[in-house]
Amino acid sequence: MSDFGEAAALALKLIVNFDSGLFAIVGLSLSISLTAVAIATIIGLPAGAALATYRFVGRHALIVFVNSMLGLPPVVVGLAGYLLLSRVGPLGSFGLLFTPGAMVLVQATLTTPIVIAIVHRAAEEQWAKHGEAFQVAGATKLQTLPHLLLIGRSQVLTAILAAVGRAISEVGAIIIVGGNIDGVTRTMTTTIALETSKGNLPLALALGLVLITISIILNGLAFALAERKTIS
């Protein structure tokens, strides 16, 4: 138990002292993960809603595919990203490897299926309930998409939060394409992996506690916003 006590004390000390190194790392973690989730949201919201309303050949196969991608191993995405972004790879000329941009890319890949899958479920439900009414009112399917998202907004929020959770906690993909470069691509999770390998277990665990704290704050903010929404 002393390990956990020591870690908790250290975590508290890091936060209270506004450790500048720690804050840079937290900032980078948040910026990469939130940018990735923003991309996943831009793609996933319309895609998920469209998947629920439009009927086309291969739709079921696509749904099965998207749902399978929920179990995508980050390390595989990281490896694929590395091979694509490497100098000799097809996207090598962009020079993205070992930059935050590469990390955003792999995290967007990991989180987009999450947003699509959950939004699809939510929109499908709303489409079954209200689809006919929309069509009677003369709305095209395209016009109904934003309304489906609006009615199912609490699940849409869940989708975004699930994506943030996946992104912020992920290490396997970003450590491969980012390279864990100090001050450039070192995030919360890659720092934890590094400190563990240095045998600096209390510090690693303390950083883990900081990560959990941030996660709680993010989810608390989202919850507060959602609550205000239902009250008003």
Partner 1 sequence: MTRLLLVIAVVFALGLFIGVRVSRAEDPYIVLASTTSVDNSGLLTHILPAFKKASGIDVRVVALGTGQALDVARRGDADLVLVHDPDAEKKFIDEGHGINRREIAWNDFIIVGPAADPAKIKGNKDIIVAFRAIWNANAAFVSRGDKSGTDALEKRLWKAADLDPAKAGSWYKDIGGGMGAALNTAAAMDAYTLADRGTWLSFKNPAQLTIVLEGDSRLLNRYDVIELDPKVHAQAKRDLAKKFADWLVSAEGQSAIGEFEMSGQKLFHPEADPKPGSTAS
What is the per-residue binding string for partner 1 in 26-55, x denoting contact by CB under 8 A?
-xx-xxxxxxxxx--x--------------
Nearer to partner 1, 67 or 200 (CB): 200
Interface with partner 1 by CB under 8 A: which range of 55-63, 71-79, 87-95, 117-125? 87-95
Give how far the C-alpha of residue 36 lies from the chain's centroid of Cα atoms, to the nearest Å.
6
**Site membership for partner 1, residue 215 (CB under 8 A):** no
Within 96-135, the residues that bind partner 1 by CB under 8 A are: 97-98, 100
Q: Nearest distance from residue 68's CB to partner 1, in Å?
A: 26
Residues 6+ apart with CB under 8 A from 124: 52
Distance CA 211, CA 39 (A): 22
CB atoms closer than 10 angstroms to residue 217:
10
**Site membership for partner 1, residue 57 (CB under 8 A):** no
**Site membership for partner 1, residue 73 (CB under 8 A):** no
- State the DSSP code for 169: T
Nearer to partner 1, 70 or 101 (CB): 101
Closest CA to 46 of 166, 125, 155, 148: 148
Instruction: Taking the CA atoms of 44, 49, 51 and 54 in sequence, report the sign of the dihedral they define.
Output: negative
> Given the rule CB under 8 A, which residues bind partner 1?
27-28, 30-38, 41, 86-89, 92, 97-98, 100, 146, 149-150, 153, 156-157, 160, 164, 179-182, 184, 194, 196-201, 221-222, 225-226, 228-229, 232
